[in-house]
Structure 1
């Protein structure tokens, strides 16, 4: 990851410090998984499960995303997905659903940020 990418990601709210800690300061490995998130199917799966009222699938997806977003330093996604997963896990479907719009908006923003950062590779 070059300096421009790091600066852009940090200014865009990606917590590179936390992300690198999860990857034992291995920047190449972190970068690999950071940009692999662009292809990660779990958020679309979460939204589809919610839309189709598949509660257990939604809970499982939210649980997976709680870990993924923490590991990559996506605090702005991790906070609401953690709250949603907690509500789903405790049988509070409606309460958990209140985070869906926020998650969709922030997920789209993170995807845009990652695409823009990827374009700064050269």
Structure 2
């Protein structure tokens, strides 16, 4: 990944795309999909802190250990429901590819104190 491209696959620089959400104290992602994309970017970059901060308090693990050998290779958004500025819940269905396979999931998101957070997800068969 170059500093010019965002890992989430949108044709923007990382700083103009997901990078604007990851630093502590930055603006929250405005939609469930943008949060999902930024969480994928956090997995790519190994940012467990961001992943924990954007996880719903009732489902968040106490800690998260990421495998530094994991190599994420692409994200494909397959669909979604709700999750806009006008909703309090939403889903995003995606396929995240990694070296040797892929993860297909329907993730659920909710707003907590105005910010989108990841609740949980269901793994789907390819």
Calculate the TM-score normalised by the size of structure 1.
Answer: 0.32
Higher helix proportion (structure 1 or 2): 1
Instruction: Report the structure number with the largest CA radius of gyration.
Output: 1
Larger RCO of the pair (alpha carbons < 8 Å, separation 6+) = 1
TM-score by length of structure 2 reads 0.31
